[in-house]
């Protein structure tokens, strides 16, 4: 049996701690693609957690495409090609880490703004309502890969400074810790576009060069819109996702 003596267990819910342990075992190659996981009972005994904790950890990992269940057969390690795709909301920092890279940023603007009519409609607020705008160049291994122009619905009087963002590293982490920002799901529209003059200057490319355009509306755990972000990425940036057939169709 394994005792929970990892210091991360003090700050994480037990099911997330267990999911991290199993995920690390998989990433280290100790469990192979399509290999069956130990049974619920075995995992509960090995890590000295309840079976309910094991079930929550398994569900959490399934939602993230790390493992999959075969009806009546058990739970298995998802193939690496599937584990490398995104089917849940990640911060850019998490995504870069998943790719084996180091995320970075250059913050261009942090400012309170009045909601335009278009953005007010997307975020379900009134035109003129206060929003926080954060405009950034996103870096991967110190190279510019994209632009994020984000508008956030935050509690009245909420303030975020440039120094806070730089210290936190991850904006989502900062907003979660400071204001209870709770992104649960998002709706995205993807399209192709051409770099405008300002895009080209900031990304060190030529005007007219191809860009991947992504518009994202992020919803809270109460399914209320809390962020609109216009993201523009270099054509070299790979954006992966996974599409699964709905059961019963």
Helices (H) then strands (E): counts for the chain:
9, 8
What does the pLDDT look like over 63-74, one tens digit per residue? 878 898 876 788
Question: For the segment 103-129, what is each residue's pLDDT rounded down to a tens digit?
Answer: 788 999 999 999 999 999 999 999 999
CB burial class (10 A; 0-12, 13-18, 19+) of residue 67? buried
Model pTM? 0.66
User: What does the pLDDT look like over 157-171, one tens digit per residue?
Assistant: 888 999 998 888 778
Range scoring the smallest mean pLDDT among 87-101, 102-116, 118-132, 195-209 = 87-101
Long-range residue pairs from 163-166, CB within 8 A, at least 24 positions apart, any chain: 165/105, 165/107, 165/110, 165/134, 166/107
The predicted-structure confidence for 214-244, as pLDDT tens digits, reads as follows 999 998 877 889 999 999 999 877 666 666 6
Which is more confident, 23 or 186?
A: 23
Burial of residue 94 (number of CB atoms within 10 Å: 0-12, 13-18, 19+): middle
Q: Across all residues in the chain, what is the average pLDDT?
A: 85
Output DSSP code: residue 39.
Answer: P
CA distance 57 to 75: 12
Closest CA to 192 of 132, 149, 235: 235
pLDDT of residue 212: 93
112 and 203 in contact (C-beta within 8 Å)?
no
Bridge-partner residues for 148, per DSSP? 136, 231
| List of domains in the chain | 7-83 (1.10.10.10), 92-234 (3.40.1410.10)
User: So what's the pLDDT on residue 98?
Assistant: 64
Q: Specify the pLDDT at position 148.
A: 95
Neighbour tally for 133: CB within 10 Å: 16
The whole-number average pLDDT for the span 1-10 is 47
The mean per-residue pLDDT over the stretch 51-56 comes to 96
Q: Nearest-CA neighbor of 57 among 34, 33, 38?
A: 38
Q: What is the mean pLDDT of residues 53-80?
A: 87
């Amino acid at each position: 049996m394994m005792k929970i003596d990892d210091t991360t267990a003090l700050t994480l819910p037990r099911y997330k701690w267990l999911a991290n342990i199993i995920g690390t075992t998989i990433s280290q190659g100790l469990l192979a693609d399509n290999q069956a996981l130990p049974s619920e009972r075995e995992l509960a005994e090995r890590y000295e957690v309840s079976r309910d904790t094991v079930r929550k950890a398994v569900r959490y990992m399934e939602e993230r495409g790390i493992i999959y269940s075969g009806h009546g057969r058990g739970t298995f390690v998802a193939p690496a090609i599937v584990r490398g795709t995104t089917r849940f909301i990640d911060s850019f920092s998490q995504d870069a880490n998943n790719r084996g890279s180091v995320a970075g940023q250059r913050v261009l603007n942090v400012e309170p703004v009045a909601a335009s009519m278009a953005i007010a409609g997307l975020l379900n607020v009134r035109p003129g309502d206060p929003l926080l705008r954060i405009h950034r160049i996103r870096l991967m291994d110190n190279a510019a890969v994209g632009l994020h122009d984000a508008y956030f619905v935050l509690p009245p009087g909420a303030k975020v400074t440039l120094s806070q963002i730089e210290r936190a590293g991850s904006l989502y982490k900062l907003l979660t810790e400071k204001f209870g920002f709770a992104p649960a799901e998002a709706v995205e529209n993807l399209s192709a576009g051409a770099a405008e003059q300002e895009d080209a200057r900031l990304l060190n490319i030529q005007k007219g060069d191809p860009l991947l355009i992504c518009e994202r509306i992020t919803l809270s755990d109460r399914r209320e819109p809390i962020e609109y972000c216009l993201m523009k990425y270099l054509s070299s940036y790979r954006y992966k996702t996974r599409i699964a057939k709905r059961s019963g169709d």
